[in-house]
Amino acid sequence: MKRVITTVAVLATAVLLASGCSPGSGGNSASSDPKTFEFWSFTAINQKADVDVYTKAHPDVHIKLTEVGSTSETAQALTTALAGGKVPDLVLIQGDDLPKFMQAPDNFVDLNTLGADKIKGDYLDWVIKQPTTGDGKIIGIPTDVGGLAVAYRTDLFKAAGLPTDREAVSRLWPNWDAFIETGKRYVQATGKPFLDNTPTSVFFQAVNQGTERYYDADHKLSYDKNPQVKAAFDLTLKAFAAGISAKQSSFAAGWTAGLAKGDFAVVSSPSWMLNQMKTNAPGTAGKWDIATIPGGSGNWGGSFLAIPKRAKNPQAAWNYIAEMQSPAGELAHFLSQGSLPTTPSVYSDPKLVGRTDPFFSNAPIGKIYTQSVVGLKPFYIGPEDGTIGTELLNTLTSVEQGKVAPANAWNTALTNVKNAIGG
């Protein structure tokens, strides 16, 4: 599933706030029918496909799906609804937004009361820990994790005189410095950009590979003094200075067009990105392959399904969660959509391990992506993680757009973060 810290202004949320309503407001049509429930999700992740799978298996169930907007817009709309508006029965919360909602767990149904205590062992320990309170309440069930890899165009690599075999390509970049050097070789050979952009394809990959991110081990803010964050930021500036970026912000119109036209040869691609690439550039099928991410492992993303306390039909929502996020359900979602399961029992399933994707030159995507998350020791994600990540990414995007000088970028980013989080 898409896990984007977006640079797009939250226009849709502003409209909702200005009108004093929330998505789907204007009467609770789901209030009296236990077979009907309202579901809020993000845009651009094809949540309708999962809903269609469920309703086909349960034709007596009616799901009113609202794709609210980006991940941050969805979180803001939920915040507004929890403050007194009409809440959905089910909502998808992106992982970086979850900690803010964990500060007020009483806004949500403790899913243990519906059966979460019986299935919590199905999930990766470090993932199910995120929606679990100190006293054991569970307010969300994980849907997927975002194992890291790099998608590259084999035809463009061949034209540049670079190897095209995925193992040989992986050996080109054991670390990020080598990745940048490969990019310089590509640009020198072709005169064209190497990768889509540096903020998401370099910074947000590298910063997610550290042992700490924006909070320290004591759960205190440390983004401004964590050397791992500064190193990832400086690495991104180095990649920009190398002249290897197409400067196309992820998921923007230029990025989508660039995927189709071959304007860049490389995209850092978490598992959930693969379906987006297929959807946005169907004509490039067979021209891509998948290589290991520099550094070998990491995670970008992960979302959780939660039921607000004032939901009218919590049981119907829970039935959906229990079926669609079971090990079998998550495996089926991976096979159809590419999102990596959070249920390690399926990591040895031949359907996952043996999964190849013809769009990506029959790359063994199941094997590549599970290897990037198995044994991962994640960092603490705190209440301001989403905001901090957004501001750092926005500043680096401004560098690419010529609006902020690279020499001023770090101080500008810190100022923007402090202004955004009020500290």
Q: Where are the domains of the chain?
A: 11-145+301-351, 150-268+384-421
What is the per-residue pLDDT for 10? 31
Whether 11-145+301-351 and 150-268+384-421 share one fold: the answer is yes
CATH of domain 11-145+301-351: 3.40.190.10
Nearest to 140 by CA among 353, 381, 318, 405: 318
**150-268+384-421 CATH fold:** D-Maltodextrin-Binding Protein; domain 2 (3.40.190)
Place of tokens 């949500």: 108
What is the per-residue pLDDT for 32? 52
Instruction: Give Cβ neighbours of residue 22 (< 8 Å, ≥ 6 apart).
Output: 16, 77, 80, 81, 85, 86, 87
pLDDT by residue for the chain (423 residues), tens only, comes to 444 433 333 323 333 333 333 444 333 433 457 789 999 998 878 899 999 999 999 999 999 999 999 888 999 999 999 998 899 999 999 998 999 999 999 999 999 999 999 999 999 988 999 999 999 999 999 999 988 999 999 999 999 999 999 999 999 999 999 999 999 999 999 999 999 999 999 999 999 998 899 999 899 999 999 999 999 999 999 999 999 999 999 989 999 999 999 999 999 999 888 888 998 999 999 999 999 999 988 888 889 999 999 999 999 999 999 999 999 999 999 998 888 999 999 999 999 999 999 999 999 999 999 988 887 777 888 999 888 999 999 999 999 999 999 999 999 999 999 999 986
* Burial label, 299 (beta-carbon count in 10 A; 0-12, 13-18, 19+): buried
Nearest to 98 by CA among 107, 85, 89, 87: 107
Per-residue burial over 257-267, b if 16 or more Cβ lie within 10 Å, else e, is ebbeeebbbbb
Alpha helices by DSSP H, listed for 325-364, are 327-337, 350-353
Nearest to 193 by CA among 171, 160, 161: 160
What is the per-residue pLDDT for 13? 33
Report pTM: 0.84
Per the CB < 8 A criterion, the answer to whether 200 and 246 are in contact is no
Q: What is the DSSP letter of 202?
A: I
Place of tokens 């569970």: 138
What is the per-residue pLDDT for 8? 34
Per the CB < 8 A criterion, the answer to whether 190 and 162 are in contact is no
What is the per-residue pLDDT for 338? 81
What is the per-residue pLDDT for 336? 87
What is the per-residue pLDDT for 11? 29
